[in-house]
Amino acid sequence: MKLILSAYPPFSLSTVIQSHGWIQLPAFNTDGEAKELTFVYRLTPGKVVGLRIQETDSGVSVETDCQLSQAEQDDIACKVTWMLGLDQDYSAFYALASNEPKLAYMQERAQGRVLRCPTLFEDVIKTILTTNTLWAHTIRMADALVLEYGDSLPADPARHAFPTAECLAATDEESLRAKARVGYRAPYILGLARAVASGDLDLEALKTADLYTTELRKQLMAIKGVGGYAAANLLMLLGRYAYVPVDSWAIKLVSHEWYNGEPVGQPEVEKAFEHWGEWKGLAFWFWDWSYHNG
């Protein structure tokens, strides 16, 4: 079965796929040229399907490995629209970026969209996995979490969907540490899963919440395991760009861009993008940095 979804122009699937490291984490996958996105998705009723997403002239096509009901098609269309930001309009930012050589090609390259998971729950868990560790360890933890707790794809049992809040809520800290090796993050993951599974926390409502960005940030930081960097990262995924996700890599980039490699801190990173206002996080994310080597 194939679905056709339109995107607000300009749009580039490969640009979204390569927007950040999420493509390296399950249940995402792509071909060598980032021309298509494959994904294992657990539908709300519990059916697990494989999705193959390719670019079309006006958006994307979504192929599934099985027949779907109308409700299931609507669910997938909604999730893919969110994941790829198909309805996002960056014309206001492009107008500002056109005057900055480091961002002047964003519209031409259809940049701006950032790959998102189908649920904010998954995005929060993966963001927590990025904190205080190397990226290779984030990949390892995400792989283990999905393999141990995610439902398998019937057509290819080696592939799994991201685990549901209900599944993770039913485990315990000891198991999370032993099976997924998530370390100190175990109580954060377990606590979040149980809050979502019980209905005490409606993370999905934050996607469309009519809140000031400062209030939305406050709600994100109320989640145990989510600090300033993680909150800024999640705000980016929610389409709010008023904060820069400052970590050691951001500090290194700014140090080499404006301070000749001299030591700087978070204040210097914030100051570098302060004049971008509500777009500062996006300007940071897509800046054409002079420093590229680790």
Query: What pLDDT shows up at residue 68?
Result: 93
Give the angle subtended at the CA of 246 by the CAs of 138 and 248, to the nearest 5°. 65
Domains, the chain, ordered by start? 2-97 (3.30.310.20), 120-237 (1.10.340.30), 248-286 (no CATH)
Query: What pLDDT shows up at residue 293?
Result: 61
Who contacts 237 (Cβ-Cβ below 8 Å, separation ≥6)?
114, 116, 120, 123
C-alpha closest to that of 101 among 247, 261, 228, 290: 290
Low-confidence ranges of the chain (pLDDT < 70): 293-294
Query: What pLDDT shows up at residue 44?
Result: 80
Distance CA 197, CA 94 (A): 40
Q: Phi-psi category of 34—alpha, beta or left, where left has phi over 0 and alpha has psi -120 to 50? A: left
Side-chain half-sphere exposure of 51, counting CA atoms within 13 A? 28
Distance CA 88, CA 113 (A): 8
Structure tokens at 107: 């519209």
pLDDT digits 0-9 by tens, 122-178: 999 999 999 999 999 999 999 999 999 999 999 999 999 999 999 999 999 999 999
Distance CA 253, CA 242 (A): 19
- Largest separation between any pair of C-alpha atoms in the chain: 59
